Homo-oligomer: A and B are copies of this chain.
Amino acid sequence: MPANERLGLDIRRAEQELMAAKRAAVEPAGLTVPQYATLHVLAENAGISGAALARACQVTPQAMAVVLKNLTDRGLVERAPHPWHGNVLETRLTPAGHTALTLADARACAIEHAIAEELTEAERTQLRELLARCNHAVRRAAQAQAEA
């Protein structure tokens, strides 16, 4: 199968380009992309648990634990035991975390804004739909292989 026919490569390339741009965008705020994503979810869900945060960011709880450790060490978030639900650690933004998020968000949104402006409303919808169908096909193929 020739490489230039593989649609996966186009998707991969787009994502890499996007990640590189976002990395550069949030770097002045002293954040990485996963850290920015975590703070973003946290801003709208104060006191959420680490596991729930991981689900929201679509990573494993272990990966989120590493991100949270780095954020905690640098004082951007704080974690405290849940009042009556023993095993859970509530996570919250600190003022410093809120500041960093605000800084990063402006530049990150500029990137998203650029994408949105490049495409018409109809094109945006279509891109979403095409990607969703790719997802569906991929998931189906993966499951077929898992069963074989």
Number of copies: 2
**Please, which residues of chain B bring their CB within 8 A of the CB of A144?**
110
Interface of A is mostly: helix
| Chain B proximity mask over A4-17: 1 for CB below 8 Å, otherwise 0 | 01111011111111
**Please, which residues of chain B bring their CB within 8 A of the CB of A116?**
5, 7
Q: Which of A19-27, A82-90, A93-101 sits within the interface?
A: A19-27
With A24-B145, A137-B117, A141-B111 as given contacts, are A15 and B12 in contact (CB-CB < 8 Å)?
A: yes
Contacting pair A137 B124 (CB below 8 A): no
| Chain B proximity mask over A99-140: 1 for CB below 8 Å, otherwise 0 | 000000001011111111111000110111011111111111
